[in-house]
Amino acid sequence: MKIIKTGGVTTPRGFKAGGTNCGIKANEKSDLAIIYSEVPGGTAILTTTNEVKAAPILWCKDVIANPYKQAVVVNSGNANACTGQAGITAVAATAKKMAEALGLKPEDVLVASTGVIGVALPVEKILSGIDVLVPKIGNTSEDGRLAANAILTTDTGVKTIGVEVEIQGKLVKIGGMAKGSGMIHPNMATMLSFVTTDVNIEPALLQKLLKETTIDTYNMISVDGDTSTNDMVTVMSNGMAGNDKLEEATTDYEIFKEAFVFVHKTLAKKIIRDGEGATKFIEVEVYGTKTKNEARILAKAVITSNLVKTALFGEDANWGRVLCALGYSGVEFDPLKVSLIFSSQAGMITLLKDGVPIAFKEDEAKKVLSETDINISVDLKDGDEKAVAWGCDLSYEYVKINGDYRS
Amino acid sequence: MKIIKTGGVTTPRGFKAGGTNCGIKANEKSDLAIIYSEVPGGTAILTTTNEVKAAPILWCKDVIANPYKQAVVVNSGNANACTGQAGITAVAATAKKMAEALGLKPEDVLVASTGVIGVALPVEKILSGIDVLVPKIGNTSEDGRLAANAILTTDTGVKTIGVEVEIQGKLVKIGGMAKGSGMIHPNMATMLSFVTTDVNIEPALLQKLLKETTIDTYNMISVDGDTSTNDMVTVMSNGMAGNDKLEEATTDYEIFKEAFVFVHKTLAKKIIRDGEGATKFIEVEVYGTKTKNEARILAKAVITSNLVKTALFGEDANWGRVLCALGYSGVEFDPLKVSLIFSSQAGMITLLKDGVPIAFKEDEAKKVLSETDINISVDLKDGDEKAVAWGCDLSYEYVKINGDYRS
């Protein structure tokens, strides 16, 4: 697998994209993005499990009955959630406008939104924006970057990825972009993540692969424990790589799958690295559980603990909070068998070995925790399964950002 | 029911208490408390559901097999959790010392600890402290206050309550003290809360009542979503009020129960009002659910949302976050039927009525949210059940306190 440094949603053959400001964000920041495939693409999609679903989520769940899609339009600055019937009408108008501008049917278009909840969507601005943006979309990496930039909210930078694998002598490419930052605690779905690929694959198999992939990628990250009303991940595959259709349980499929998982995991980790107010990237590895799901639950309990997050912000080796979080996760284990290690590129410290606290030097712990990337490794010695979760610390800046988000 | 303003654990007949510094806290702050009943008291106890249980929790779960207890000793500054066999030995030594000093058996003594996790308990300091403190305990309200002060950690003040009801012409009293502040997200139990009463009641009935009471008091509060390793609530009843033994489903029992629930609810709310870094006291009322448990789950989802908490810290009427939290609670409901109101003593604003957002003036919302006590009222119009939860905002100060708790 080759990583394409400037890769993004325009990396695979036949995909165009672009981004612009259509006036939703007051400060002229980009707020409208389009992804377009030259041919209909078999599409997989996962959406939020939140009972309160934004209007665009309802639209996508409806139109995906036919999995062949050709365009995605995304606005930032307004989530079009809790906006009643007006919000639903706005999505339909947006899809209709996209269809007219691109020569498609409205149901060929996926719609996504992110931003403040409960404010009427200024749909006229989006409709005008589509007229402006459609003629400008292109297939360069810069076009992909413009699209990736237009979907951001409190993010501090674009999150893109592009990779290439060889299947049957054909170069198959996967590209993606995501936005994250706040209200990030995906559950069976995710924040906004859009992936494109020119692989030839049956949509049903793509959907299955996406579902499997999210469990150990987007579903293992958390910024603040809040599962959004607008979470969505889509993958469009247009088959233009020219490979024979991928079949499950083949070497070709495994090659593609490895790259596919890498793309989603990379986007998920980029979201965490840019978590609202984050100063640390925290990886929690849990080993030695009876089942993989137990390991996942334990790792997520640690990564979502406000007390663990604030301790790491303060670079304080308050490891008892890790044990506390494991303890209330709901998974049974024997505390007297647990081992715990904090590490970073500055070194490692063992805090607990087989349930016994190990004395450590505060200055060494401080050195380890002063790095940006921190690893917390827990071994329960109760089985052979493991899981990894990713999260960030909880800083003053997180409180600041979210204390006055709407202004 | 009469509220006794200076009430505390010494309010009921036959209870003595006291507090001192025994040297666990470096700054000479009080860190050792004792409660003593002149006669053996039928005792109810609930302890943390956390899989990692502190050594004193294990002791209490063990000795409560016989529900008659006569003393409680509590230290703050060290949780004696994740301390291995040494921690268990330290608890036994503490109970033994208490028994010697008070002429009891070790198993008549309950032990509780709160403070940092994973640091060896300096048990010698506690043993010396018991020698100093036992001769000083007394039955005045000041003695009760000294005990209440000695169990605090990051709390900014004591949390005490005393009430009096008349049963069969006898005055029955209930007193209590609690500590809270951080790692507060009780589940079937609570932080530390110690309640005394001179009522005459069978321990089994007292235990049943305590279990019922915690569901809508301690279990409906949250500071940070972290369920501690040391949570404990105990109630000692010494029967010295002289009433005939209380029987369930009688008027006498109902009179006592009302006062009992009031005592625990008051302590629970005092914990929230003094939540770490809290600037707001938030009450979330959820109405119109099919079951009471659904209402509880929904109310707790709102009260524990970091995004709701930071918005209220910022006095920002970002009500979409309330809907978002309801939505990911796991309870099914129809978002198009929901009504939502924010209120305080400065007024009220309706934000959502039957699923339709209601325009509001930002300056009016700011006025309502600038108060200290904020009420969030949600009506799902899906049934007749309701529940209330209490929480606090998430401030810079919370991050500061927890970024460097051990120093």
**Average pLDDT, stretch A213-233?**
81
**Average pLDDT, stretch A221-232?**
76
Residues of chain A numbered 74-93 and touching chain B (CB < 8 Å): 79, 81-84
| Chain A residues with CB-CB distance to B116 below 8 A | 318, 320
User: How much is the pLDDT for A190?
Assistant: 44
Contact B307 A183 (CB under 8 A): yes
| Chain A residues with CB-CB distance to B318 below 8 A | 116-117, 405-406
Q: What contacts B379, CB < 8 A, 6 or more positions away?
A: B287, B288, B338, B339, B340
| Chain B residues with CB-CB distance to A227 below 8 A | 324, 327-328
Q: What ipTM was assigned to the predicted interfaces of this complex?
A: 0.75
User: How much is the pLDDT for A183?
Assistant: 63
Q: For residue A312, what is the nearest residue in chain B, using CA coordinates?
A: B403
DSSP string of B158-171, one letter each residue: -EEEEEEEEETTEE
How confident is the prediction for chain B on average, in pLDDT?
A: 91
Selected residue with higher pLDDT from A91 and A318? A91
Give the minimum alpha-carbon distance from B406 to chain A in angstroms, rounded to a whole number: 7
Q: For residue A185, what is the nearest residue in chain B, using CA coordinates?
A: B328
Cβ atoms of residues B295 and B387 within 8 Å: yes
Catalytic choice (A10, A43, A190, A217): A190
Q: Is the pLDDT of residue B226 over 90?
A: no
Q: For residue A305, what is the nearest residue in chain B, using CA coordinates?
A: B226
User: How much is the pLDDT for B51?
Assistant: 83
Contact A324 B83 (CB under 8 A): no
Contact A117 B325 (CB under 8 A): no
User: How much is the pLDDT for A189?
Assistant: 36
Token duo for residue A52: 């309160």
Looking from the CA of B229 toward its CB, the CA atoms found within 13 Å total 29
B190 is in an annotated binding site: yes
**Average pLDDT, stretch A126-147?**
97
User: How much is the pLDDT for A405?
Assistant: 63
Distance CA A272, CA B296 (A): 31
Give the minimum alpha-carbon distance from B374 to chain A in angstroms, rounded to a whole number: 15
**Which range is most confident: A93-107, A219-233, B262-276?**
A93-107
User: How much is the pLDDT for B147?
Assistant: 97
User: How much is the pLDDT for A188?
Assistant: 37
Q: What contacts B8, CB < 8 A, 6 or more positions away?
A: B17, B141, B144, B145, B147, B148, B160, B161, B162, B175, B176, B177
Contact A328 B49 (CB under 8 A): yes
Residue A38 CB neighbour total at 10 angstroms: 13
Which among A83, A314, A333 is the nearest to B403, CB-wise? A314
B20 is in an annotated binding site: no
The alpha carbons of chain B give a radius of gyration, in whole angstroms, of 22
Which among A51, A310, A327 is the nearest to B332, CB-wise? A51
Residues of chain A numbered 335-354 and touching chain B (CB < 8 Å): 335-336, 351-352
Interval A38-73: pLDDT, tens: 999 999 998 888 888 899 999 999 999 999 999 999
- Is residue B378 less than 8 Å (CB to CB) from chain A? no
User: How much is the pLDDT for B154?
Assistant: 79
Contact B51 A327 (CB under 8 A): yes
Q: Is the pLDDT of residue B405 over 70?
A: no
List the Cα angle A131/A133/A134 in 5-degree steps.
75
Domains parsed from chain A with CATH numbers: 2-273 (3.60.70.12), 281-403 (3.10.20.340)
Residues of each annotated binding site of A for substrate: 153, 179, 190, 276, 402, 407
**Average pLDDT, stretch B249-259?**
94
**Average pLDDT, stretch B306-318?**
91
Which among A310, A336, A404 is the nearest to B316, CB-wise? A404
Contact B183 A226 (CB under 8 A): no
Interval B71-125: pLDDT, tens: 999 999 999 988 889 999 999 999 999 999 999 999 999 999 998 888 899 999 9
Among A98, A95, A126, residue whose Cα is nearest residue A20: A126
| Chain A residues with CB-CB distance to B50 below 8 A | 324, 327-328
- Is residue A318 less than 8 Å (CB to CB) from chain B? yes
User: How much is the pLDDT for B365?
Assistant: 94
Q: For residue B311, what is the nearest residue in chain A, using CA coordinates?
A: A403
pLDDT class for B313, splitting at 50, 70, 90?
A: very high
Distance CA A147, CA A245 (A): 29
User: How much is the pLDDT for B188?
Assistant: 36
Which among B119, B324, B394 is the nearest to A228, CB-wise? B324
User: How much is the pLDDT for A184?
Assistant: 63
Catalytic choice (B11, B48, B83, B190): B190
Contact B318 A82 (CB under 8 A): no
List the Cα angle A146/A147/A152 in 5-degree steps.
100
Q: Is the pLDDT of residue A116 over 90?
A: no
Q: How far is CA A364 from CA A308, A317, A372, B122, in A?
A: 19, 10, 15, 24
Q: Is the pLDDT of residue A233 over 80?
A: yes
Q: Is the pLDDT of residue B406 over 70?
A: no
Which residue's structure tokens are 């029987």? B247
Our answer to whether residue B190 is catalytic in this structure is: yes
Interval A325-377: pLDDT, tens: 998 888 999 988 999 999 999 999 999 999 888 999 999 999 999 999 999 99
Q: Is the pLDDT of residue B189 over 50?
A: no
Cβ atoms of residues A107 and A64 within 8 Å: no
Residues of chain A numbered 236-295 and touching chain B (CB < 8 Å): none
Contact A320 B187 (CB under 8 A): no
B276 is in an annotated binding site: yes
Contact A82 B320 (CB under 8 A): yes
Give the minimum alpha-carbon distance from B284 to chain A in angstroms, rounded to a whole number: 17
Token duo for residue A145: 């970057």
How confident is the prediction for chain A on average, in pLDDT?
A: 91
| Chain A residues with CB-CB distance to B356 below 8 A | 84
**Average pLDDT, stretch A137-160?**
93
Which residue's structure tokens are 């939703």? A24
- Is residue A331 less than 8 Å (CB to CB) from chain B? yes
User: How much is the pLDDT for A271?
Assistant: 86
Which among B50, B332, B402 is the nearest to A328, CB-wise? B50
Give the minimum alpha-carbon distance from B160 to chain A in angstroms, rounded to a whole number: 26
Contact A52 B335 (CB under 8 A): yes
Selected residue with higher pLDDT from B304 and B128? B128
Give the minimum alpha-carbon distance from B203 to chain A in angstroms, rounded to a whole number: 28
User: How much is the pLDDT for B185?
Assistant: 61
| Chain A residues with CB-CB distance to B354 below 8 A | none
